[in-house]
Amino acid sequence: MSETIRLDYRDDYAVVTLNRPERLNSFNAEMHETLSARLDDAAASSARALLLTGEGRGFCAGQDLQDRNVERGAGEPDLGDSLERYYNPLIRRLRGLDIPVVCAVNGVAAGAGANIALACDIVLAARSASFIQAFCKIGLVPDSGGTWILPRLVGTARATGLALLGEKLSAERAEAWGLIWRCVDDDALSGEAHALARHLAAQPTSGLALIKRAFRGSLHNTLDQQLDLERDLQRAAGRTVDYREGVAAFVEKRKPVFKGR
C-alpha cells in the first residue's frame, strides 16, 4: 500500500504531500496519524521551511465522508472527538511551527482541506484550484480554525457568505479577496512553490520564527502589549548569528549567508 503522506527533503526544506488522490486527499484516521508523525519528523529535522501540497487533481477534500456514512455501516461518529483528536492538533501544529510553511494548493480545497491550507503561512494556489467551505452542505460548522481565520482574512461579510453558502471560490478571487498570497498558472505552481520554500529556507529563519510569533500575538494583543512583544522579540532577534551576518554582509556589500541561528 502506498503511503498516504509522503515526506521528502530538498535542499534545506521539507515537502509534505497528501497522497490519497483517488479520494481527493480526504482525511481518514490513518492519514491523520501519519501526517502527525511526518510533521514530527520534519520539525525534528534540519529543514528550515516546509512545503505542504496534494497529489493528483485535488489538494484536500476534508474529512473522508465514506468513513462517516452511518447508512453504510460506519458507527455513529462523535465529531467533537474527531476534532479534538485530529483536526485541532493538526491546526495547532501547523500554526505553531517555527519554520515558515508554504502551502501549494494544487486543486480543490474543500471543508477542512480549505482551512488546513489557510492555516499555513504563505498560500499559493493553482489558477484552476478552488476553496469551498463545504461544511454547510452536510449540516456541519466550518472547523479546523475556519471560523477564526476566515473573518480575519476576508472580513465578516465574505466569511459569512462563504460559510453559509458553501460556494466554490476560485483561486483568482481568493487572491483578490486577500484569502491567499497568490494565484499562479497551473503549470507554474510547483516551480513557484518550491522556489519560495527554497528561498525561505535560505533566509534568517530564526528571525522569521520571531516574525511569526509577533503576528500570532497581534491577533489578540492591544497596541501596548504588541509594542512590548516587539521589544522582546527584537531583543532576541538582535542576538542571533543571522542578524550579525546580515549587518556585516550589508556593510561589506556582499551576499549574506544565513544559518538559521
Instruction: Name the residues that contact ligand T3D, by CB under 6 A.
Output: 23-24, 26, 61-66, 68, 77, 79, 82, 87, 108, 110-112, 132, 134-135, 138, 140, 143
Choice between 115 and 206, CB closer to ligand T3D: 115
In angstroms, what is the minimal distance from the CB of 142 to ligand T3D? 9
* Beta-bridge mates of residue 184: 126
DSSP 3-state assignment of 109? strand
DSSP 3-state assignment of 52? strand
Choice between 143 and 242, CB closer to ligand T3D: 143
C-alpha grid cell, residue 205: 529563519
Q: Which residue is nearest to ligand T3D (CB)?
A: 62
In angstroms, what is the minimal distance from the CB of 107 to ligand T3D? 8
Choice between 88 and 203, CB closer to ligand T3D: 88
In angstroms, what is the minimal distance from the CB of 130 to ligand T3D? 8
In angstroms, what is the minimal distance from the CB of 28 to ligand T3D? 9
In angstroms, what is the minimal distance from the CB of 93 to ligand T3D? 16
CA distance 93 to 35: 11
Choice between 5 and 14, CB closer to ligand T3D: 5
Q: Do the bridges between strand 50-54 and strand 58-60 make them parallel or antiparallel, or are there none, so unpaired?
A: unpaired
Provide Rg for the chain, Cα atoms. 19
In angstroms, what is the minimal distance from the CB of 136 to ligand T3D? 9
- Is 93:36 a contact under the CB 8 Å cutoff? yes
- Is 171:126 a contact under the CB 8 Å cutoff? yes
Choice between 14 and 24, CB closer to ligand T3D: 24
CA distance 192 to 181: 12
35 residue type, one letter? L
Q: Do the bridges between strand 50-54 and strand 13-18 make them parallel or antiparallel, or are there none, so unpaired?
A: parallel
Choice between 59 and 258, CB closer to ligand T3D: 59
DSSP 3-state assignment of 105? strand
